[in-house]
Amino acid sequence: MIKIVQPLNNNVVMGYDRKKGEVIIIGTGIGFRAKKGDQVDESKIQKMFITGENKQLLEMIGAIPPEYFELVEEIFEKAKEEYGFLPKEKETLALLDHIHFAIKRMKENLVLDNPFETEIRQFYPKEWEIGLYAKKCIKRRFGIEIPDAEVGYIAMHIIASEFQKSRRTVSKTFEVIDLALKYIRDNYLTDVKEDSLAYTRLVTHVKYFAQRYVDNKESMDEDELLDQTIKERFQREVCCIEGLSEMLYRKYGRPVTVSEENYLVLHLRTCVANKE
């Protein structure tokens, strides 16, 4: 049984559970006409945060209006319904904190650029759509229109939640994707059509390669015969990918594995074959 300690608004209350201690509860109408000491209608609970020793949450309760808790829950509910995303509490709080300060920046006319906006649109369209949904929710609730750069940052939080990574790791992954594709376009695919199926497949492979590279989970499988065949038949492609590996080594201190190099070489060759 959960009792209300303090109604924060119609949809957010602070409560007390004998097993969990103090909690923040979100649910449509859960705080409507509620009073201290009332029993919470548990059928209305959509999200519950256990405060306990969570200093970050305790600070947020004091600093962030409850409407923002509702907003973030609405965004993640959409992500869950549409794409099955199931964020943990830390990802929810991270997005909450980001949106609160983003809206504060908008009110002060401070706009941040997002260097990965194009990559997010292209490589993570589902997450971008959730960011656009968040943009609509923010406009409806607060009358503020966030720019696409902020849509991208919200999408990055969704990506971080989806893959259980920090936003710093997600940013590094986008950085590797951007560096890799730019290097390949400048040094090999100088006239490929970027709307071609082969290039789209290459982009997809580079995306997942970058995730493995940043996580240090690259494929280590080696096939000497395949390696020899690739080096003999696809010398231009091998030269390009070896140059890419060297560039990544200089920047991040770790080369690309032979197995990953071979896969990238084969995808480059597919691009050329289809272009021809």
Instruction: State phi, psi for 159 to the nearest 5 degrees.
Output: -60, -45
| The domain defined by 170-275 carries CATH number 3.30.70.360 | no
One-letter amino acid of 235: Q
**Digit-coded pLDDT (tens) for 160-178:** 777 666 777 888 888 998 8
Mean pLDDT within 190-197: 71
How many CA atoms lie within 13 Å of 132's alpha carbon, on the beta-carbon side?
Answer: 9
Phi-psi category of 255—alpha, beta or left, where left has phi over 0 and alpha has psi -120 to 50?
beta
Q: What are the domain boundaries of the chain?
A: 2-54, 66-164, 170-275
Q: How large a percentage of the chain has pLDDT more than 70?
A: 90
Mean pLDDT of the chain: 83
Distance, CA of 88 to CA of 158 (rounded, Å):
11
The contacts found for 223-229 with CB under 8 angstroms, 24 or more apart, are 223/259, 223/262, 226/262, 227/258, 227/262
At 208-225, the pLDDT tens digits run 888 888 888 766 666 667
How far is Cα 141 from Cα 152, in angstroms, rounded to an integer?
A: 20
DSSP 256: P
Longest dimension (CA), the chain: 78
Give the torsion sign (CA, 140, 145, 149, 153): negative
Alpha-carbon distances of 46 from 70, 92, 95, 251, rounded to whole Å: 10, 13, 17, 45
Burial class (CB in 10 A: 0-12, 13-18, 19+), 130: buried
Sign of CA dihedral 198, 204, 210, 213: negative
Q: Do domains 66-164 and 170-275 have the same CATH topology?
A: yes
Q: What is the pLDDT of residues 40-94, one digit of tens each?
A: 888 888 878 877 766 667 677 767 888 888 898 899 888 888 888 877 777 788 8
Residue type, 134: A
Architecture in CATH for domain 66-164: Orthogonal Bundle (1.10)
CATH 2.40.50.100 fits 2-54, yes or no: no
Q: Output the pTM of the full model.
A: 0.64
- The whole-number pLDDT of residue 150 equals 92
Q: What is the pLDDT of residue 25?
A: 86
Mean pLDDT for 93-121 is: 84
